[in-house]
Chain A
Amino acid sequence: MNCRYVQSRLSAYLDFELSGDEQQLIRSHLEECIECSCEFESLRRTKQLLRQMPIVKPHTGPEQVLVRVRHAQPAAPRPARPAWGIRWHPPRAWQYASGFALVAAILFWGRSEDTQTPPLTTASPTPSYFTPVSNPLFPTVAPELSTVYRPYAPNLFRRASYPMSEPPLMPSVSYLMDPMLGYQPVSEWNSIPSQPKFIETPR
């Protein structure tokens, strides 16, 4: 318990507005620390002075207030507040427009002139180079298996594919490749030492 903390709470301590533990801690600190107890004494004195301030008596009585009150009208009753404190109002023009635009965006996302899709009668699964559009709002599940007609659009999120027989020129995760070991199957990743081993040799 440091002095800064104690001094920030001296008024609350003075007013018995702290928890019992805190009250006790500050009391024990004040017994030890002369600086804090000086500060406390001066605050106590200030409060004492304020409490001794006399009550002032007004020149006029409450009658004047009542005279004024007689001529006053009570305020209109509080208007009913709708739920959640929100004042609803009919939509403005821009709100109609933005709502319409949002619906249109969802419905027509990625649609374009259809020139490349095979005719509807095709029963075979769509080839992978005709990757269907995936709408971020309604992602397609297993698009290759789907026979549902989907217009063509380039898929920007498509993973780059390559023939599995030859590895890519640059591995995507460099530390998995050990120059001595080459590529390792996933099952053996744990056995690859991450640090080169040094062999202790006698001098």
Chain B
Amino acid sequence: MTHTAVAQSMDDRLQREFDELVYRHYQQAYNLAYRLTGNAVDAEDLVQEAFLRAYRFFERYDRSMPFMNWFSRILTNLYIDEYRRRGRLRTVSIDEVYSGEDGEEGTTMDLPDTAPNPLELALSNEYIHAIHEGLQYLSPEFRIAVVLADLEGHSYEEIAEITKTSIGTVRSRIHRGRKQLRDQIKKRHPNLFERGDLK
């Protein structure tokens, strides 16, 4: 077996491993990107870019770390870069009727369908949109911390590892992010807090 042949088979093995990881984590990655960017178009771009970058640097992936932690770091870094590049993320209203670039008019936002899960029946679509839009009000750092903790279910230590910050920073970001989010949701749907809130 020549040197190039060994390298080739090595590449094949890495390639197969990477493909498998993409298949396994695509859904979760998309979900994370969607909650960060707030819309399906940007989420798809972000996920593709992140997987592309992950592939390019796949040799540096430390196998002792869960793939999704490593990948989340890439994705959140890309997201923050993109956010800063744009200056301010454009906010897209879900109900807004917008005109397409090629002159087609009157189309509404193409929302991804949500999984019909009996547990989620408690939350009506209206509330889901309120929470989703509330998330978009947070600054990117807070949003990343809250999404990773509450939607992805990471521990503070993992989030500190993903965002390369200290646990104290993670703790304060999650706390402040949740408080801001709560105020945003409360503004629109105070009834969501009625049962627990005595004030």
Contacts and interface: CB of A to CB of B under 8 A. Distances in A.
A54 B128 contact: yes
B52 interface: yes
Interface residues of B, number: 60
A65 B114 contact: no
Contact of B40 (A58, A62, A74): A58
Contacts of B57: 74-75
- Which of A42, A57, A60 has the most CB atoms of chain B within a 10 A radius of its CB? A42
A129 to B, nearest CB: 64
A57 B199 contact: no
Given A12-B175, A46-B185, A58 B59 contact: no
Interface stretch (B75-83, B96-104, B148-156): B148-156
Given A45-B196, A49-B123, A65 B47 contact: yes
A78 B56 CA distance: 12
Given A42-B182, A55-B27, A49 B47 contact: no
B5 interface: no
Given A34-B198, A44-B196, A52-B123, A57 B114 contact: yes
A53 interface: yes
B126 to A, nearest CB: 12
B27 A11 contact: no
A53 B182 contact: no
Contacts of A41: 196-198
A28 interface: no
A66 interface: yes
B122 interface: yes
